[in-house]
Structure 1
Amino acid sequence: MKFNTKLIHGGISEDSSTGAVSIPIYRSSTFHQNKVAGNAKWEYGRSGNPTRAALEKLIANLEEGKAGFAFAS
């Protein structure tokens, strides 16, 4: 893929929870936990969320790297 195509489609196929082909912006600060100290994929918005994970994957793909990182200020 060329850069512009990667920018739009690179590294992201679909949202696994909704099936959307464009990743939705999740504004949740906390996520449902089945039990205390469980192994949920998402716990708290500052430690990660599906939107940030998609962005980090896209950054890695654009830079042809192993990982991408995004931080909240």
Structure 2
Amino acid sequence: MKTLDKPLDDELSGALRRGDDLLSIREILLKYRDKGFSAISVNELLGAMRGDADEELEDRILEVMDIVTGFCAPALEVW
């Protein structure tokens, strides 16, 4: 799988698999942004995570991809 920052990638993957709320996941996305990662690179990472996801996890990933691309409520925007 594609990696950006192994500890952050593991944190994001774990949060998605546990079903953490979107505000908690947004906090992880802010860490990616603050480390200089672009929305495009994080979106590509999420896309790679979809490959082995069940339907529920894939839906969650798609929700987070909406946040990454800015297709979300202003309060959730990151980039």
- TM-score, normalized by length of structure 1? 0.27
Greater radius of gyration (CA): 1
**Higher helix share goes to which structure?**
2
- TM-score, normalized by length of structure 2? 0.26
